[in-house]
Structure 1
């Protein structure tokens, strides 16, 4: 049996991309782009996003971001709108919490947008009240 030669496989030897502490320039939306909040992760690099113009879209995470930038429910993202399919979009960029707060201060995001929470900014769904008793056998 071969002897283990180290601590981990080729991914460890390749090195980690550590850019978390680094500040990057804030990117604003351009024509054909919009800000959105992730409602639901669907798998296969897809997600459901509610853009701040009120339209729910199926968004696809671009290949450069997949497996490098982890997008979660409640995150603020920049999406590229499609000319030919209004109900679909592509995720270009994920904003971290500090960048999303700055966008809110600059007036790019609406005041009712919730940052750093899993709840979305959209209309509140009425919660179902489960007041019933269970009879014991």
Structure 2
């Protein structure tokens, strides 16, 4: 029987995804019809709605190689390629990481009104537990009312 080399199954894909290399920052090329956009809504499948920084909302298609490797969420800044035959549709070419978006902002490529989507923790700041003295007083009053009802029976 052949020996197990350790690269079968999902192990190989995990090993490839551990890279933390600095990647090259791609700027838009207006000659090729490229534009920056921010994702407004995920529509399902490879489709999303994005607000382009030229002032239009466009329906964008995530190309195949990006759809399998890159996770795009609402609020992400992406580079899109405009279609010459359909002005209201575009194709997503690249997704920018938050530090790359900051670099683009300082370089003047993006407007200052762009908000970064940096809520990685996913929390909505919900606190559990005692909220104060008012809740404790209400609980005591409710307990007293229940005791009175039992005595009436």
> TM-score, length-normalised on structure 1?
0.74
2:47 aligned with 1:54 = no
CA distance in 2 between counterparts of 1:114 and 1:47 reads 18
For residue 84 of structure 2, give the secondary structure of its aligned residue in structure 1: coil
| Matching residue of 1:21 | 20
Structure 1: where are the runs of 5+ without partners?
A: 1-8, 119-137
Matches within 5 A, 1:1-137: 10-18=9-17, 20-31=19-30, 32-116=33-117
CA distance in 2 between counterparts of 1:46 and 1:37 reads 14
For residue 60 of structure 1, give the secondary structure of its aligned residue in structure 2: strand
CA distance in 2 between counterparts of 1:109 and 1:19 reads 30
Select the structure with the greater relative contact order (CA < 8 A; seq sep ≥ 6): 1
CA distance in 2 between counterparts of 1:33 and 1:106 reads 17
| Matching residue of 2:124 | none
| Matching residue of 1:135 | none
Structure 1 residue 43: Cα displacement: 1.1
1:54/1:96 Cα in 2 relative to 1: closer, same or farther (>3 Å)?
A: same
CA distance in 2 between counterparts of 1:11 and 1:46 reads 27
1:14/1:103 Cα in 2 relative to 1: closer, same or farther (>3 Å)?
A: closer
Moved segments of 4+, more than 4 Å: none
Structure 1 residue 17: Cα displacement: 2.8
Structure 1 residue 11: Cα displacement: 2.7
CA distance in 2 between counterparts of 1:50 and 1:78 reads 11
CA distance in 2 between counterparts of 1:14 and 1:33 reads 31
For the pair shown, which has the larger CA radius of gyration, 1 or 2?
Answer: 2
